[in-house]
Amino acid sequence: MRFREYIRRNALLNTTWRIGVFTVGATVLVGGLIMMIAPGPGILGIIVGLAILATEFAWAQRALHRARAAAEKAKEKALDPRTKRRNTILAIIGGLLAGAAVIAYLVVYDFTLPWDVRDYTPWN
């Protein structure tokens, strides 16, 4: 006899099991949502949370399918050769502009860095 089948036949155990799955899944899902604005793998947390919830709830299974489809679409868009070429060009231009800004700063300030202090007396 399978463990889950045994639990499903007992109403109290089934309700307790579903509450436990909901609690764990919702906690992981909320953690993923928090990690969307805080450092961490937010998307992974959301998908894992939905996967845990999808083991018991049909609404979570539908949301998980939509999340997977959106992730697949984003992956295809990111791997598009035109998008990769555009991102590479933008990264090169950004790097060149940053380098030019550093060189311009050094030329304007005669190649002296702002923390290169030669006179340590505070009253001059």
pLDDT bin (cut points 50, 70, 90) of residue 54 is very high
Q: Which of 37-41, 112-116, 120-124 has the highest mean pLDDT?
A: 37-41
Average pLDDT, the chain: 86
H-run or E-run covering 19: helix 11-37
Say whether 91 sits in a helix, a strand or coil. helix
Residue among 71, 78, 24 at smallest CA distance from 51: 24
Residue 34 has pLDDT above 70, yes or no: yes
The pLDDT score that the predictor gives to residue 95 is: 96
